[in-house]
Structure 1
Amino acid sequence: MENIRKTEKVICMILEDINSDFSKELVKSVANAISENKQIRLVVLPVKYDYGIEDNCLHKYREIYNNILRFSEICSIDGLIIHLGSVSERGKNSNGIFDDFLKRLSGIPKVLVASDLKDAVTVNYNNESGIREAIEFIANIEGLTKICMLGGRDDNKDARDRKEIFIKCLHDYRLEYSEDQFENTDMSEDSVEAADRLLDRNPDAEAVFCINDAVAKGLYTTLKARGKVIGRDVMVFGFDNTRMSSDLDPPLSSVGADSSSLGGKALELLLSMINGEEAESGTVPTRLYGRASLPYEMYEYNPIELSKAEPAFIYKMFNDCFYRYKLESIDREKVDLRRLFYEFMSKMLIACKHTYMDEETFGKLCMMIDKFFEKGAMQYTDSTKLTTSIEKIQNIMNKNAHSLAATVFINRLFARMKDRAIVNQSKELISHERKTNRVRQRIKEFIVSGMDKTGCCGLYRNFDRLGLDNALLFIFEKPIVHDRDKETVLPKNILLKCMMHMGDLYLMPEERQKFRVEDIFGCNKLTMKCKGFVSFPVICGKRLFGLLMCELTDDICENGEFIAMELGRSLALSEQ
């Protein structure tokens, strides 16, 4: 049996629907909060929210898929971060799959995200601060009176809280409310019908609050179908401030974390618990991030502050433009973008103040700006927000300028900033599209290669065609057949059949395949250079064949389940 040498703490993260924007960003915030010197391995176990419709094929699939939870009960884990929207004080005695789940894990330190369980350490958004900020702006600044809400599931803690806060804010600002102004959704993008029902009852709606950004996407579809101009005819704001919000057309205003992230706060509390320290439940402050769907600006640039060019003001400017940067830990090997922004922006402001800039300084600032965007500045903002902020700063500086020569240079630098932002974002989109096409092509090749009926050996030999740089494929000696009337019991051992390490395929010799199931999350064959790993059950029909562990990347959150399904299908075919 393969020897395990555990040198790291294993943090297991259990959450619903990993391909949703909220879940992806929650995982990313935890991974980004893990600094290299903490010796922590993050392993993500994605599960499915099960609506419990017994005659539904999707229900049966989710039921079998959720057997992945058994690994969290058996494997050696030092701490847990759990985000399951249906685990709450209100629903803890329900008959769902998570009835006694927390009891089985009672000996492991754990933090629950977006939960109100009284006997657990939890991390939640301070929902009220951001929602109140939005309602105050709509009511007091825009003067709108008919505000509606697309809500969420009754079993979801945040959905209940946000509805209560929404109603309270309307009352506080002396706006009318009736239940006709509210409609439940399943909290997914599939909210078009719910949005239709809401707008049918409220054709005069002037603004709509969506329980999250995904629901807002469905509302957009409905509003556009009715000929409504979003941001003019109907203002819209969501919650979570996911990257989807800036990708929508028009960009969506959204409430999101202010000074810290949910994942970062959860990890902070969990590490305290693992170290034997007391930890109390915490909240993460929120604020409204204004975009075109609700034209709100938290911070206006002041000409006097611009002319002084003080460090505190420049850093405030950076935090406003690149608002996601402060929610992530800074890798010491990477460029400190905040500091680099200060270096070139302070010189631009000083040049404007002193009405002078020479050619040499201009050239150096051009190189700094190029480096700033080449090192990934655009991943911390969105293009509309950045260009709007740049134009505001540029207009103020031009009004206050006293030197034509300095003004020309400064305007050229602002133009360069906008150009580099557009170029680098375009490169990123093209790169993502090419990578997606490569993944599809490799999966297609894997499927074709499995048609030659070479059995499991052929499948393992072609494992590299799936396009995974770092991954392990664990297979049980015999597949486990799911029986809904019996509890799934995992065997003590599992076989590591093949692995990808830094892009290279390794087929494991028979004498080195056997691992204890409890040891697989601490397997020393997983490279420490990865930010974390995501595990997917390899299933087909009622059979659970094993586990696919992949390096944590944005792509794997979207494609991992499909890849695991294809592996399960291929294994099932090889048995015939």
Structure 2
Amino acid sequence: MAGIGSDVMGKKFTIGVLIGNVHTAHPKDLMRGIRAAASGMDVNVIYFLGTQSVRFNQKFALEDFDYQYNTVYDYAKLAKVDVLIIAYGSLCIFQENEDKQAFLDKFAGIPYVLLEDATDDPRGIYVMVDNYGGMQKCVEHLIIEHHLKHLVYLGGPEDNQDAIERKAAFLNVMAEHHLPVTPEMMAVGDYSEFVDNLVEQLLRDNPDAEAIISANDEMTVACYRVCKAHGLRIGKDILITGFDDVERARYSNPPLTTVSQDAYKMGQIAVEKAVDICAGRPVESVRLDAELIIRESCGCKVTRRAKEKADEKTELLHIIDELRLFQHKSWLGPFLIRDLMQEAENEKSFYRKSGEVFYHLGIRSSLLYLLEQPVTYEKGQKWKMPQRMYLTMHQYRENIQVFEKKERPYIDGSFGVPDCCSSGEDYFSYISFLLIDGKRQYGLLMLEIEPEEISFYYILALQLGTSLRFLEANIKQKKYRDRLREKNEVLNFIAIYDELTGIYNRRGLMESLVRFNQDNLGKKACLMIADLDHLKEINDNFGHAEGDCAIRTAAGIVKEVFGQYGDVGRFGGDEFAGIVRYSEMEEKEQLIYNIHQKCEQYNEHSMKPYYVGISVGVVEFVCEKKIDFIEMFKHADEYLYEEKRKRRKTVCRNVNFENS
């Protein structure tokens, strides 16, 4: 049966959420509202996060890789979502050389709900707060109620619609009250708390400033910090106001006067509108009222009721608990990543360990999507969207599935995340982190976590990106090692084996003799040397190719007879040698006889115009540490000389000869 968040066939709708600047409070409130509504309406959600961070480490960052995070939104095209919620006000801050319509056009064919900005595109609708009206109330309150005349303004990004409307309200209200505004009275911030230098400049240029009006609450953190550093009492010596009414506004010291932009409610409405779009119901854009919230930072004396104080105390305790949990996980995370790095020798074990890490951290479900090959993306380079991502690991509670490379499900837009897997019968809500290490991009990590946990898992995702770089390097190194080992094996073969016959050469046999002697100290053994009879005659009469053929034949016979007991090799030219343990061999006379027999058998069936004959000398000895192999070879050579006297006078067939 179809539910609120599913089609007539019962398939759950999947909403993709594009949202940036998630280290700040307003986007997190949006996400909380989206999550609550999605859960109640039984729809799937996949968040694609812009986790830009350079502002947090401007003093320490050697290179800015935040540009990478602008690509994360494009991956929504692969995920196969039914509708998008685009918090454009939070992500346009970081867009480089790309206007709003160009950004929206990238998602052609996907309907959307645009937040914090307007659109007349027939594919989408918008949900916005009354930015102008909210800022108008704030500025008028300062001018009318507090009789202020010298107000300075800390605005937001110039291409942000919220910031544009709030700035317009400030300028118009000042003009209506015939109050001058000079360029020195205004600054353009980036909606982050790291705008201390701008606040310093405003105070320096306006020593008689009575109030700082900030276009959002996040930047008031810097206003408080700088004013207190200058010894200014907020709410008395200088007034400060914000916009958004994020959670920390109530707990600032003093509490912050601000305009309430109910991001939680905006997120809920966005989901309701998105579901209506999926269900084919008519939808319209909406602007939400913005209420002025008066607190002590604007100089007003506010009497709070006992219930408000109790609620604030409860919320503060909740925040403390969250901080404790974050601290605990911050300690645990590096240990888990360390365990993961230890699996970098084995790719499959590495991915399984990552699933175990997420399970031990209490995550219900995680998906690890990797690109077919890591992508190097340089700053300023035109971004080329990969066509596929491959599901490498799926963790659901304690169950972890790692896919073989050739069997990995992929997403490409027509086949998406809902098709690859789901977390059971209930809805899923994945928060996606881009996996990068510097310029290298590896894929996406999708986790079922709460918005409050983003900061910790952002750190973990960074560490995982570095771990993937380490894994990539290990895989390459292993390939190089394997190639090197193969080449060394070839070189070793060339170094110790005779190219013509395939048996040991002089070096290989001597190494074998030394090794054999060390392994058999105190045991009896035999050293054999052998010569191919009349090789020069074969070469002179039938050519060197036939000479080589005769050498190979002789090597095969020697190896067949002696090789079953020990090692044999070619010393060069027509000379062969071998060593065997005495206990494993037949009598030496029998071995010599066997060689002659093998020669006769060969000659009997051979069509060659010559005979193959081998003369053999064998000497017995006891393996010992200080054995003199040169002396041993001399003794064996003496026996060989005796044997040579018995060979054929000639090896040419159809020639009468006598034994000499």
Q: What TM-score, normalized by structure 1, do the two folds share?
A: 0.70
Which residue of 288, 291, 304 corresponds with 1:389?
Answer: 304
The correspondence of residues 318-467 of structure 1 with structure 2, limited to 5 A, is 388-391=303-306, 421=311, 424-425=314-315, 427-452=317-342, 453-456=344-347, 457-458=349-350, 460-466=352-358, 467=361
Go from structure 1 to structure 2 and tell me whether the alpha carbon gap of 1:101 and 1:171 turns closer, same or farther (over 3 Å shift): closer
Go from structure 1 to structure 2 and tell me whether the alpha carbon gap of 1:441 and 1:50 turns closer, same or farther (over 3 Å shift): closer
The correspondence of residues 141-290 of structure 1 with structure 2, limited to 5 A, is 141-257=145-261, 261-290=265-294
The correspondence of residues 106-125 of structure 1 with structure 2, limited to 5 A, is 106-119=108-121, 120-125=124-129
Q: Matched residues in 2 for 1:451 and 1:189: separation?
A: 35
Contact 1:207 1:234 (C-alpha < 8 Å) held by counterparts: yes
1:515 aligns to what? 409
Contact 1:83 1:114 (C-alpha < 8 Å) held by counterparts: yes
Which residue of 474, 494, 497 corresponds with 2:368?
Answer: 474
Go from structure 1 to structure 2 and tell me whether the alpha carbon gap of 1:495 and 1:524 turns closer, same or farther (over 3 Å shift): closer
CA deviation vs aligned residue, 1:513-557 (integer Å, no higher than 9, x gap): 622314443154335667722111222233322221111413332
2:529 aligns to what? none
Moved more, 442-451 or 255-264: 255-264
Q: Classify the secondary structure of the residue corresponding to 2:180.
A: coil
1:330 aligns to what? none
Contact 1:289 1:296 (C-alpha < 8 Å) held by counterparts: no
Moved more, 147-156 or 557-566: 557-566
Q: Matched residues in 2 for 1:543 and 1:91: separation?
A: 19
1:303 aligns to what? none
Contact 1:461 1:507 (C-alpha < 8 Å) held by counterparts: no
Q: Classify the secondary structure of the residue corresponding to 1:437.
A: helix
Moved more, 560-569 or 481-490: 481-490
Q: Classify the secondary structure of the residue corresponding to 2:446.
A: strand
CA deviation vs aligned residue, 1:438-482 (integer Å, no higher than 9, x gap): 211221211321343443314532543352412323243743323
Which residue of 525, 547, 556 corresponds with 2:444?
Answer: 547
Q: Classify the secondary structure of the residue corresponding to 2:455.
A: helix
Q: Matched residues in 2 for 1:60 and 1:555: separation?
A: 25
Contact 2:132 2:168 (C-alpha < 8 Å) held by counterparts: no
Q: Matched residues in 2 for 1:49 and 1:116: separation?
A: 24
Q: Matched residues in 1 for 2:405 and 2:189: separation?
A: 52
The correspondence of residues 33-182 of structure 1 with structure 2, limited to 5 A, is 33-36=37-40, 38-47=41-50, 61-85=65-89, 95-96=97-98, 100-119=102-121, 120-182=124-186
Q: Matched residues in 1 for 2:212 and 2:320: separation?
A: 34
CA deviation vs aligned residue, 1:101-156 (integer Å, no higher than 9, x gap): 32232211111112234435222211132222222222222222211111111111
Q: Which runs of 5+ in 2 are unaligned?
A: 1-8, 55-59, 475-660
- Which amino acid in structure 2 is aligned with residue 481 of structure 1? V
Go from structure 1 to structure 2 and tell me whether the alpha carbon gap of 1:144 and 1:423 turns closer, same or farther (over 3 Å shift): closer
Rg bigger for which structure?
A: 2
Deviation at 1:506, TM superposition (A): 1.9
1:496 aligns to what? 392
Q: Matched residues in 2 for 1:486 and 1:131: separation?
A: 38
Q: Matched residues in 1 for 2:77 and 2:287: separation?
A: 28
- Which amino acid in structure 2 is aligned with residue 390 of structure 1? R
Count of residues in Structure 1 that have an aligned counterpart in Structure 2: 449
1:563 and 2:453 equivalent?
no
Deviation at 1:59, TM superposition (A): 7.6
Moved more, 479-488 or 17-26: 479-488
Contact 1:258 1:287 (C-alpha < 8 Å) held by counterparts: no
Moved more, 248-257 or 159-168: 248-257
Identity %: 23
Q: Matched residues in 2 for 1:77 and 1:104: separation?
A: 14
Deviation at 1:259, TM superposition (A): 11
Deviation at 1:177, TM superposition (A): 2.5
Q: Classify the secondary structure of the residue corresponding to 1:239.
A: coil
Contact 2:433 2:461 (C-alpha < 8 Å) held by counterparts: yes
Moved more, 557-566 or 185-194: 557-566
CA deviation vs aligned residue, 1:240-280 (integer Å, no higher than 9, x gap): 11112123222211101369832233233333322323433
Contact 1:10 1:521 (C-alpha < 8 Å) held by counterparts: no
1:26 and 2:30 equivalent?
yes
Q: Matched residues in 1 for 2:18 and 2:199: separation?
A: 31
- Which amino acid in structure 2 is aligned with residue 42 of structure 1? V
Q: Matched residues in 2 for 1:292 and 1:210: separation?
A: 16
Deviation at 1:231, TM superposition (A): 0.8
Contact 1:86 1:155 (C-alpha < 8 Å) held by counterparts: no
Q: Classify the secondary structure of the residue corresponding to 2:373.
A: strand
1:538 aligns to what? 435
Q: Matched residues in 2 for 1:149 and 1:422: separation?
A: 29
Deviation at 1:499, TM superposition (A): 1.1
2:496 aligns to what? none
Q: Matched residues in 2 for 1:91 and 1:138: separation?
A: 32
Go from structure 1 to structure 2 and tell me whether the alpha carbon gap of 1:42 and 1:155 turns closer, same or farther (over 3 Å shift): same
- Which amino acid in structure 1 is aligned with residue 431 of structure 2? V
Contact 1:464 1:500 (C-alpha < 8 Å) held by counterparts: no
- Which amino acid in structure 1 is aligned with residue 326 of structure 2? T
Q: Matched residues in 1 for 2:293 and 2:407: separation?
A: 51
Q: Matched residues in 2 for 1:506 and 1:59: separation?
A: 36
Go from structure 1 to structure 2 and tell me whether the alpha carbon gap of 1:479 and 1:441 turns closer, same or farther (over 3 Å shift): farther
Q: Classify the secondary structure of the residue corresponding to 1:188.
A: coil
Q: Classify the secondary structure of the residue corresponding to 1:261.
A: helix
Contact 2:155 2:189 (C-alpha < 8 Å) held by counterparts: yes
1:368 aligns to what? none
Deviation at 1:294, TM superposition (A): 2.0
CA deviation vs aligned residue, 1:399-446 (integer Å, no higher than 9, x gap): xxxxxxxxxxxxxxx8xx96x657644542442132112211221211
Q: Matched residues in 1 for 2:102 and 2:145: separation?
A: 49
Go from structure 1 to structure 2 and tell me whether the alpha carbon gap of 1:113 and 1:545 turns closer, same or farther (over 3 Å shift): same
Q: Matched residues in 2 for 1:531 and 1:507: separation?
A: 18
Q: Matched residues in 1 for 2:97 and 2:312: separation?
A: 51
Q: Superposition RMSD on alpha carbons, in Å?
A: 3.3
Go from structure 1 to structure 2 and tell me whether the alpha carbon gap of 1:98 and 1:174 turns closer, same or farther (over 3 Å shift): closer
Q: What TM-score, normalized by structure 2, do the two folds share?
A: 0.62
- Which amino acid in structure 2 is aligned with residue 155 of structure 1? D
